[in-house]
Amino acid sequence: MSEHESKARVVEANRAQLRLVSLDLESELAGDHQARAVWAFVERLDLREFYERIQSREGKAGRPATDPRILLALWVYATIDGVGSAREIERLSSQHLAYQWICGGVNVNHHSFV
């Protein structure tokens, strides 16, 4: 099996998982919140090329990559929200419920967007 035929290893969002802060992201974000619409949009996109470029692969050593859906959804939501700075997205991802919901417990930093 070639490198691109094996499944990409990524850190996926897990919004149903309870965090130490006892915050259930899924139930905290309103059902009609715009972040949910952004996520639904991103899930419909064909992101195969993004996954093919991930070097971390199942069965190989290395840290899993951040799921491209998370990074793209953060950028789209931030753009709608009037945010254009990767550092600001990083800050919001740790402090703002909608950004936290998109991340689903996955830590992102401004270097993730380079």
Residue with tokens 């996520």: 39
Q: How far apart are the first and last CA of the chain?
A: 29
β-pairing, 10-11 vs 65-66, is: parallel
Confidence of residue 73 (pLDDT cuts 50, 70, 90): very high
Q: Given its phi and psi angles, is residue 59 left (phi above 0), alpha (psi -120 to 50 degrees) or beta?
A: left
Segment 2-42, tens digit of pLDDT? 656 788 999 999 988 876 767 789 999 999 999 999 999 99
- Are the C-beta atoms of 90 and 110 separated by less than 8 Å? yes
Query: 75 is written with which tokens?
Result: 């950028």
